[in-house]
Amino acid sequence: MIAAVLIGTGVFAGGQALAATQCSPDFYDGQRAYDGGNKNAAIEQWTRSALTGDVLSQNRLGEIYENGDHVLIDYIEAHKWYNLAANNDLQDCSGDFGNKLAAIAKKHAKEARERLQDVMTARAIGDAQEKFVLMYECKGDGRALYQLGRIYLAGFGVLQSKLDACKYFAIAASRGEQAAKDALDALNDVLKPDEIDNCQREAHKWQRPEACSASLGGGSCKGAAGVPWQNRQAALSSLGFYRGGIDGDAGPGTRAGVRKFQRSINADSTGSLTEPQICTLIESAALNGDGISQATLGEMYYSGIGKNQSNEAAVQWLQKAADRGVPGALFRLGSMYVKGGQGVDRDVAYGCKLLRDADRGGHPGAAGEIDRYCDRGD
């Protein structure tokens, strides 16, 4: 059982966003569904089309989430889709006339993204940009990673970073992308030797994020029933499906929240979560930036509950949650670091710092670990 965890260089002008070699007119299928009153089907259709690179669908989803049109208002999600559209190479499916519409959609998305940033916190913008980058990383192919390098080099939709650009160019080049090799050669002419060394180290360490392999709705997720209701409530609450107390009581209010979530993924609204739905819920909330759900997902990977056991994936998600001050994540990571050999190098000083932060946050097990592993001077 998982313990509840609540306690510019001028080389390039810009990038392209998840462009496909061809696309189908899914945007218009979505529009017909929307006009016919079936908004769930429309959003599902636009999401599929947006993921293939259709700028019209990406821009439309930004509007949907910005305005709360049949979904909860979510500026982070809206920013992500607007950012993808603003960086798009005008991919659409309607010939010459469609290209004009695509240009309009791209211009609108760029303006909307800037407008949203005026009312979003710096942290929310950072979360949105993180989700934006994840879309490219999850593609994993040389072309997408090359495009991400171009985006970082130009600073369009993310903070400009020659070192990040270099990293993604190097990764893409290792996957046979010739344009990335050329870009890397050009960039290496303007980087310092230590920057080039750092770029190569980061590129060598890079792996496709574990979050990408999470099938939101697929897989057996065997053992996910072991995720406590308290943690499920936290995920439902972070996604806006539940407004009650985080108390572990799977009563009528919680069941109503589950039904809302199930409707959002086009599942039967039974009020009872299947194991794959539990994985979908926790993963969705974690990807949406909820610290408690990130800690829960880290615990799932650490314990092999609902996920194949992976210390590497556990550390990735626990660190995200620890950065948000979640006591359970601080405790688990601290314990891993003071012991070592669990996907991290032993670092008693850092581990003790995390444990003390967990103790200050009210984690009941932190004091015992501090007494066991930490000197007063650590």
Query: pLDDT tens, 31-61?
Result: 888 999 888 778 877 887 887 778 899 999 9
Take residue 206 and report the two structure tokens written for it: 């890079």
Dmax (CA) of the chain: 71
pLDDT band at 220 (very low <50, low <70, confident <90, very high): low
Max mean pLDDT among 31-45, 147-161, 206-220 falls in: 147-161
pTM: 0.54
pLDDT(6) > 60: no
pLDDT of residue 280: 86
Q: What single-letter amino acid sits at 246?
A: I
pLDDT of residue 331: 95
pLDDT(67) > 80: yes
pLDDT band at 84 (very low <50, low <70, confident <90, very high): very high
pLDDT of residue 179: 93
pLDDT of residue 49: 80
pLDDT of residue 98: 52
> 252: exposed, middle or buried (C-beta count within 10 Å: 0-12, 13-18, 19+)?
exposed
Task: Quote the CA–CA distance of 292 and 318 in Å, as a whole number.
Answer: 9
- Residues 191-224 as b or e (16 or more Cβ within 10 Å = b): beeeebeebeebbeeeeeebbeebeebebebebb
Task: Quote the CA–CA distance of 191 and 37 in Å, as a whole number.
Answer: 54
More confidently predicted of 20 and 62 = 62
Could you give the dihedral angle defined by the CA atoms of residues 218, 299, 225 and 215, in that order, rounded to the nearest 10 degrees?
A: 0
pLDDT of residue 25: 47
Q: What is the CA radius of gyration of the chain?
A: 22
> 157: exposed, middle or buried (C-beta count within 10 Å: 0-12, 13-18, 19+)?
buried
Task: Quote the CA–CA distance of 165 and 163 in Å, as a whole number.
Answer: 5
pLDDT band at 22 (very low <50, low <70, confident <90, very high): very low
